[in-house]
Structure 1
Amino acid sequence: MGKPSPFADACAGALGAVFANSLVFPLDVIKTRLQTQNKLLKGSEVYHSSLDAFLRILNKEGLAGLYSGLGAGLFGTVASAFSYFYFYSSIRAKHVASLPAGAEISTAVELLMGALAGALCQVFTLPIAVITTRQQTAPQDERQSFFATFHDIMEHEGVAGLWKGFKASMVLCSNPAITYGMFERVKAVWLKRRAALGKAGGLGSGEVFLIGALSKTLATVVTYPYIMAKVRMQWTVPRSATDLSEKDRQSMKYTGSIDVLKKVLATDGIQGWYKGMQTQIVKAVLCQAILFVSKEEFLKLTLALFAFLEGGVGARKSNTTLTN
């Protein structure tokens, strides 16, 4: 199989991401509900753990509750994965073309290109993430369709409302770099341990997966307060919360990530910064593992489909030529 084009790579990445995120989507809903629950919202559902959230949502809203915002979520996944892989493949291809023959890309440059691709991706896809968050956290009787939610945000918050959490998203573009750095450090320690035990050779696939999962976990722990802050900024107070005082209502409006962290610290303590983190870690590790495994298969299918379509177009051109 030759080097795929950025478009083919983007298609395969998007398909793999959709497949992976479809499987773990309920975890995303649970994580988002845990991140946005607030003690000041009297009468609202209070979740004590991920399992408690799962059971309560299932009991009160059924399976539909665990998949609230699925359409917007998968649309966002396609847009995000496609744009990320496209930007990354394009940036990398241009950089490789500019290198002298035989030169290799350094790890630092690889990470920089990944962060740049992630930042460009966020510019275009953040509004979809905002709509998804609103659908996932809205009370069942207030939940709206994708376009109705979009219209509601535009009407009450303007265009700026669609890009809430943008600065936090830019900070979170560092997550892959942290993950990779952790991976290299943990791998070095593990190889030293293997050598001390007299084990030769490289790492097995199982060991690579475990080290990758641990690295992703450590990176998530480091960046999680910003993950929570971004979701809080994208969330909005339910319309049904009519008994809130103006002071409490203002305390749930945020000017930025630091403002979120200060207010959550005041009401929930340091543990408030890490609400839903366990679910986020499980979701991230599972999603990444499924994506890595499935992307190559989807790439083969994508290239086969492109070849089939190109063959069909070629055959039609040939028939047209013969007819003429």
Structure 2
Amino acid sequence: MAQQEPLTPFGNALAGALGGVFSNAVIYPLDTVKTRIQADQGPKNDAKKKGQVTVRKGAGLLEGVMTIARSKEGVTGLYRGFGASMVNTFSTQFAYFYWYTVVRTLYVNRLATKGKGGVAQLSTAVELLLGAVAGGLAQIFTIPVSVIATRQQLGGPRSDEEDIVEKKQELAAANSPAQPTASAKAKSAAVTAGKSVAKVANPSDPDSFLGVAREILRDDGITGLWRGLKPSLVLTVNPAITYGVFERVKNIILAASDGKMTPAKSFLVGAVSKTLATLVTFPYILAKVRLQAKDTPYTGAIDVLQKVFKREGVIGWYKGCQSQVTKAVLAQALLFYFRDYFEVWTRKILYSAKKP
């Protein structure tokens, strides 16, 4: 059977994005739990005032899932920010795979024109550098969606205090005089008009994608959407390490076996490569999450690491690491396992798009 032509940068990007969305959708509740563990939003009393559910320190992913599911948030709390997260995953994966394919192809072609052999295996250092460049380009364009998704995951249902205040206001309105004064009428009309405008600007609720985006713009300005960009740029080495190690280990396995990369082998290599990448970069993953949280007391990634180290030592840098590794490894392993299927689906989508 004739070998299929390699996918274009757009095709590779689409295949990677589809794979990323699928794998992250499967384990999304775990992602919500690990984000809350990493955020460490303070004492339970403070969290209750914000209507948030805290996860016990040292809790595992399963306990975290059950804690949120049994709380006032319910099972839906495990899927807070799901839409934004999937958009973020798709856009990030698409941008990463697109730019990685572009920069890698340009580099290989440049080697070929210099007579160094374009088909030669690239060194691990080069693979990591190309991956970092691609990841940096991807992050610059996609981090606003990541900030919104993180804020949604860290949110919670309305607190009891807020519910009581609203009920008191409704009772006061119901018990008001039958013939309100002109000033009262004007005030009521103004409030009603204000609510109508708010609903038009935000058709659902303040915790929706647009609602959170508007809140960030109101509180932090346009730069708030790029909060955590610096640690995100540092974290571009994470996928670079992941794919760099994956390619190295894959080549070793292919050379030592029958030369065929089965889905089971892809799953195993993907798990190993992602675990290594996560362990190396986890402190900055923690810093990124805390910087993107609402009302964060930190000024930057270094500030996060310094304050956490002062309170908890090096162990504090790895708070929630087990949850992060479990979630990341499962997502990455699923992505590698089903990658061939995503390429098949991508070819079908591109073929259908070319039809008149």
TM-score bin (small chain): 0.7 to 0.9
After TM superposition, the structure 1 = structure 2 runs for residues 59-74 of structure 1, keeping only pairs within 5 Å, are 59-60=70-71, 61-74=73-86
Residue 215 of structure 1 and its aligned partner are, at CA, apart by 3.7
Residue type of the alignment partner of 1:2: E
Aligned residues of 2:127 and 2:244 also touching (Cα < 8 A): no
Tell me the equivalent position of 1:126: 143
Residues in 2 aligned to 1:75 and 1:301: alpha-carbon distance in whole angstroms: 19
- The answer on 1:54 being equivalent to 2:65 is yes
Q: Over residues 30-58 of structure 1, what are the superposed CA-to-partner deviations in whole Å (9 max), with x where a residue is unaligned?
A: 00010112334525244221333211100
Instruction: Give the alignment's TM-score, normalised by structure 1.
Output: 0.80
Tell me the equivalent position of 2:94: 82
Q: 2:324 aligns with which of 242, 256, 280?
A: 280
Tell me the equivalent position of 1:19: 22
Residues in 2 aligned to 1:179 and 1:14: alpha-carbon distance in whole angstroms: 16
Residues in 1 aligned to 2:144 and 2:305: alpha-carbon distance in whole angstroms: 22
Residue type of the alignment partner of 1:280: Q
Residues in 2 aligned to 1:38 and 1:120: alpha-carbon distance in whole angstroms: 31
Residue type of the alignment partner of 1:224: F
Cα gap change, 1:114/1:185 in structure 2, threshold over 3 Å: closer, same or farther? Answer: closer
Is the deviation greater in 37-46 or in 213-222?
37-46
Residue 186 of structure 1 and its aligned partner are, at CA, apart by 8.2
Residues in 1 aligned to 2:221 and 2:316: alpha-carbon distance in whole angstroms: 29
Tell me the equivalent position of 1:218: 276
Q: 1:229 aligns with which of 270, 287, 297?
A: 287
Residue 201 of structure 1 and its aligned partner are, at CA, apart by 4.7
- The answer on 1:91 being equivalent to 2:154 is no
After TM superposition, the structure 1 = structure 2 runs for residues 146-165 of structure 1, keeping only pairs within 5 Å, are 146-165=209-228
Residues in 2 aligned to 1:183 and 1:11: alpha-carbon distance in whole angstroms: 20
Of all paired residues, the percent bearing the same amino acid is 45
| Count of aligned residue pairs for this structure pair | 289
Show structure 2 runs of 5+ residues with no match. Answer: 48-52, 160-205
Residue type of the alignment partner of 1:56: T
Q: Over residues 250-292 of structure 1, what are the superposed CA-to-partner deviations in whole Å (9 max), with x where a residue is unaligned?
A: xx51111111112223344433222221111111111111111
Aligned residues of 1:96 and 1:105 also touching (Cα < 8 A): no
Cα gap change, 1:301/1:215 in structure 2, threshold over 3 Å: closer, same or farther? Answer: closer
Tell me the equivalent position of 1:197: none
Residues in 2 aligned to 1:183 and 1:78: alpha-carbon distance in whole angstroms: 21
Cα gap change, 1:112/1:136 in structure 2, threshold over 3 Å: closer, same or farther? Answer: same
Tell me the equivalent position of 2:237: 174
Q: Over residues 193-241 of structure 1, what are the superposed CA-to-partner deviations in whole Å (9 max), with x where a residue is unaligned?
A: xxxxxxx75798556644542342233122111100000000014xxxx
Tell me the equivalent position of 2:346: 302
Residue type of the alignment partner of 2:344: K
Instruction: Give the alignment's TM-score, normalised by structure 2.
Output: 0.74
Show structure 1 runs of 5+ residues with no match. Answer: 192-199, 238-251, 314-324
RMSD of aligned Cα (Å) = 2.6
Aligned residues of 2:267 and 2:336 also touching (Cα < 8 A): no
Tell me the equivalent position of 2:336: 292
Aligned residues of 1:35 and 1:228 also touching (Cα < 8 A): yes
Instruction: Tell me the SS of whatever aligns to 2:22.
Output: helix
Aligned residues of 1:122 and 1:169 also touching (Cα < 8 A): yes
Aligned residues of 2:17 and 2:91 also touching (Cα < 8 A): yes
Residue 11 of structure 1 and its aligned partner are, at CA, apart by 1.1
Residues in 1 aligned to 2:291 and 2:229: alpha-carbon distance in whole angstroms: 9
**Higher RCO structure (Cα 8 Å, ≥6 apart):** 1
